[in-house]
Amino acid sequence: MMEQGMMTESLGARPAPAPSRPHAAHLLVVLSDDQLRVALCAELGERGCDPSGAHDVSGALAYPPLEPGKDAVRLILIDERAWADAAASDAERLLARHPVAEKWLLASAWASDQTGAPWRSVVHRPLTIDQLAQRLVQGVKAARAKVEPVA
């Protein structure tokens, strides 16, 4: 007599696939400070997000708007230094490349509140990694809720 496991193998049966889970919220973090970018991406990952990081705007252009198996980029955080150093054409291309993403600026405490095109939100320093990650997670959840129907 064959065991049940052997019988299904010999018949070519495969186990049922695991139920699909929604993709983690995808964020693009463009920060010129390498340590801050790495720490923030790690914290966002711990909070269930899927962050991608770049040192500058031209590096951020390497990330496609949609990758197989990933959510679309829902939020882009750019620090004011990376934004100021970017070529105008690269900056425009980055924002246009991710049309569903909210655009957030990380600014110094002394910077004026530049909310409005293209910025959905301006976040002022000083902030801890925890505080910034918390705001970004809230922002990306709100961004996803705008485009995804409530089940």
Choose from 47-51, 62-66, 116-120, 145-149 the range with maximum mean pLDDT.
Answer: 47-51
pLDDT score for 151: 47
Question: Percent of the chain beyond pLDDT 90?
Answer: 64
Question: Is residue 100 over pLDDT 70?
Answer: yes
* Least confident range of 13-17, 41-45, 85-89: 13-17
- Residue ranges of domains in the chain, CATH in brackets: 23-147 (3.40.50.2300)
Sign of CA dihedral 90, 92, 98, 103: positive
pLDDT score for 113: 66
| 130-148 pLDDT per residue, tens | 999 999 999 999 988 887 5
Q: State how far the Cα of 41 lies from the Cα of 19, in Å rounded to an integer.
A: 27
Nearest to 37 by CA among 25, 47, 27: 27
